[in-house]
Structure 1
């Protein structure tokens, strides 16, 4: 009986020891797991910190590169502007030199002491005054006067722009070939609208015969002194603020039934004709231009109304 009790005690002690060993092993395994997890999380945290630092560095590098690009762009623009300014100054200086040289040959005295800006501003900007044989604007000198010309209205080719041909035409010996070569032709331009346009134009004492129909169109190239630029404004009869009016009139062009297009020009409101021209030559035509809507918008434009124009300088 005693031996049986001892055996039971020994078995219970051994069982208790086995249980304690298993618990110890589980604790050690759990501790190892916790340590491994902590090491893993630390490694992940280090990697995340490194990646964040790298991203910050990349962003910083990108900003620096963008700043460098902008700096290079500004430098290039500054250099381009300086080169353009130097080229413009050289161009004005060359033009002033030629003008001064011409004045010296012609015996004209210059009061500008060779200053390019003063010389160029004293000479001004040139424009064509269509429909006149003179320059009536204040501070405007006549460069030359001539006749308006273009290719034949029945041709499908040739030039589409109006030319102001100088009456003092030069034919240098040996520099032309007699006879028609059939390559390209140019001829005079006639007023082609009938007497109804006399109600719009100031056809008075300066217009010969008080009639424009079938007469050739004169033109004059004028120099607006002490001006640097000019512009033709269609649809207006006055100039913007600080601009000087050279002349005003009506927009005219070739007929829409012509076989070739033409440009729009501003014909003086007090038109003249070329003396000695009369009769239907059927060469170049010049008609009054009327607005059409709705593509132009019927407000402010009005369908079938003639279009005024003004030439301004500054």
Structure 2
């Protein structure tokens, strides 16, 4: 399936807002909304376990660059916050590729997505001292994240 974005202004940038069915307020527009993963935790909100994770593909016209910063909850000076949240990923012991995603701090679920299919599962990412410098990180705490644009 292909999705096309028709616009008279070709500038801008695209990003995925994980955990939400909508994009942040103007000047952001939604390109399309999809799903295909399950929350495998209740760490970030009650009653998330085994629910389907929504996401929205968003386009910002005011920026040419969008960046997800793990371990931070605020953007650097001069950058605009698109959304902030919690760093999540697939389990290191599961088969298949995985990547870190920033799931919105106010996560939604898909209404009809309550079957426990155990497809692609998302877990919260925790800090482990050793390869990470502690402090500023704290052993066994969940990572925050922020999506910034400029």
The reply to whether TM is greater than 0.5 is yes
Aligned equivalent of 1:36 = none
Question: TM-score, normalising length from structure 2?
Answer: 0.89
Q: For residues 43 and 101 of structure 2, what CA distance do their matches in structure 1 show?
A: 20
Q: For residues 130 and 25 of structure 2, what CA distance do their matches in structure 1 show?
A: 37
Question: TM-score, normalising length from structure 1?
Answer: 0.44
Aligned equivalent of 2:140 = 304
Aligned equivalent of 1:222 = 58
Q: Is the 8 A contact 1:239 1:245 kept in 2?
A: yes
> What is the CA-CA distance between 1:244 and the residue it aligns to?
0.6
Q: For residues 309 and 236 of structure 1, what CA distance do their matches in structure 2 show?
A: 5
Match of 1:197 among 39, 44, 48: 44
Match of 1:127 among 8, 15, 21: 15
> What is the CA-CA distance between 1:196 and the residue it aligns to?
4.1
Q: Over residues 267-307 of structure 1, what are the superposed CA-to-partner deviations in whole Å (9 max), with x where a residue is unaligned?
A: 01111111211132122110000010112122211110100
In structure 2, relative to structure 1, the CA distance for the partners of 1:268 and 1:227 (3 Å cut) is: same
SS in 2 for 1:257: coil
Higher RCO structure, 1 or 2 (CA under 8 Å, sep 6+): 2
> Following superposition, which runs of at least 4 residues in structure 1 exceed 6 angstroms of deviation?
none
How many residues end up aligned between the 2 structures? Answer: 146
Q: For residues 140 and 132 of structure 1, what CA distance do their matches in structure 2 show?
A: 14
In proportion to residue count, which structure has more strand?
A: 2
Q: For residues 259 and 226 of structure 1, what CA distance do their matches in structure 2 show?
A: 39
Q: Is the 8 A contact 1:192 1:287 kept in 2?
A: yes
Match of 1:243 among 58, 74, 79: 79
CA RMSD of aligned residues (A): 1.8
Q: For residues 22 and 44 of structure 2, what CA distance do their matches in structure 1 show?
A: 22
User: Which has the higher Rg, Structure 1 or Structure 2?
Assistant: 1
Q: Is the 8 A contact 2:87 2:101 kept in 1?
A: yes
